[in-house]
Structure 1
């Protein structure tokens, strides 16, 4: 619990001024590549339910809700500063009737506790945009997300890639800059996604974009299987 609180406080310190003065979304659009491609491929079914883990300022959540008007959305973030920005975005776009927000840790998130949803109901789609590289226990977060999928559900992740196709000096500069912001690319994301998909009896898909600068991983849960819940405690 202490680690969770410390990480939330760190995120608040990093983003407090950026979100209040509008720097976050204004700057991120130039290097958080692949987000819109991920949203386009969600293909949320009519009447579906969607969760964004690490919803930040609400930019992606709002775009997804506008793109899929017949679905309902939940967004969680560990940062109170980010949630405040997301709440403003939801209110400004008049989506509060279909989008709900809660402060929660991606590893221990309980939909019933945060949103009072039924325990046997899973999400049709879950997406994580450039948050895996900032979650210390990111493997556990992905596993937890897979356990929250409904039968036939999909987990979509977009984040920084292995940058294999970039010049060495470029990779060094980018990774140094990301480190200053407590961002750590996960070069083994594809492998972990495949392992988690296998645990759930499902399949995975991987795509490297922009010469490896960014990447998209998808975990698909098969139809007809009950949603697995983690052991109590």
Structure 2
């Protein structure tokens, strides 16, 4: 899907939400987007490997991953032009432009060849983006389809906070709604279904008393 074919309503919504927030996004989110660094540490990217982040936002995660895995190539996709402007500048400041390529696109329907001239990826990760994407289930399907044989999909996002006090859950959900974020209650079920359909193995973890979920789906040859 090209930039001109992006779903206008969602792209415009995200640009509107992040036009000003993008300047303070990383500072404010580091306190409650838990598990992101754990996901990056678990990528275990081989030398020469390829990694795609869906919903790359400000570039925070992809920069940390590129620093950690210095012999890999990285690609980032986001629907928000505003966020991509911030990510592009941040990546350039870090001197990583030669190893990180960004593109504007829809995570529910993307063509790796058209966007990046890459047919598939060794690893794909999605960090706190599924809870913001309409039709997020299609993102799971699209990501699994874009994996290389033996590739893996890594996801971290809000869980259902089942082990936390009810007042905390209510407060968190109210805060998240202000940013059009909705924790996906059926995330595990969708991942189990899609993993079974594609022959992938699934590891699913509950973090911080249900505050977050971390999942890894690994393709098999």
TM range, smaller chain: over 0.9
Partner secondary structure for residue 124 of structure 1: strand
**Residue in 1 that maps onto 2:8:** 5
The answer to whether 1:48 aligns with 2:49 is: yes
Distance in structure 2 (CA, Å) of the matches to 1:78 and 1:203: 29
Partner secondary structure for residue 100 of structure 1: strand
Give 1:202 deviation, angstroms: 1.3
Query: Map of 1:1-80 to 2, 5 A cutoff?
Result: 4-19=7-22, 22-80=23-81
Give 1:115 deviation, angstroms: 1.4
Structure 2, gaps ≥5 residues long: none
Partner secondary structure for residue 160 of structure 2: coil
Give 1:217 deviation, angstroms: 1.1
The answer to whether 1:131 aligns with 2:121 is: no
Partner secondary structure for residue 51 of structure 1: strand
1:147 pairs, out of 138, 145, 148, with 145
The answer to which of 192-201 and 154-163 deviates more is 192-201
CA contact (8 A) 1:78 1:103 kept: yes
CA contact (8 A) 1:75 1:102 kept: yes
Distance in structure 2 (CA, Å) of the matches to 1:65 and 1:204: 25
**Residue in 2 that maps onto 1:217:** 215
The answer to whether 1:195 aligns with 2:196 is: no
**Residue in 1 that maps onto 2:183:** 185
**Residue in 2 that maps onto 1:176:** 174
**Residue in 1 that maps onto 2:103:** 102
Q: TM-score, normalised by structure 1?
A: 0.91
Q: TM-score, normalised by structure 2?
A: 0.96
Q: State the Cα deviation string for residues 20-42 of structure 1 (Å, max 9, x = none).
A: xx310100000000000000000
Change (3 A) 1:125 1:2: closer
Change (3 A) 1:75 1:3: closer
Give 1:195 deviation, angstroms: 1.1
User: Which stretches of structure 1, 4 residues or more, deviate above 6 A after TM superposition?
Assistant: none
Give 1:62 deviation, angstroms: 0.4
**Residue in 1 that maps onto 2:157:** 159
Q: State the Cα deviation string for residues 135-162 of structure 1 (Å, max 9, x = none).
A: 0110011100000000000000000001
Change (3 A) 1:155 1:13: same
Partner secondary structure for residue 131 of structure 2: helix
CA contact (8 A) 2:57 2:78 kept: yes
- Give the length in aligned residue pairs: 218
Distance in structure 1 (CA, Å) of the matches to 2:12 and 2:57: 14
Give 1:78 deviation, angstroms: 0.1
Give 1:116 deviation, angstroms: 2.1
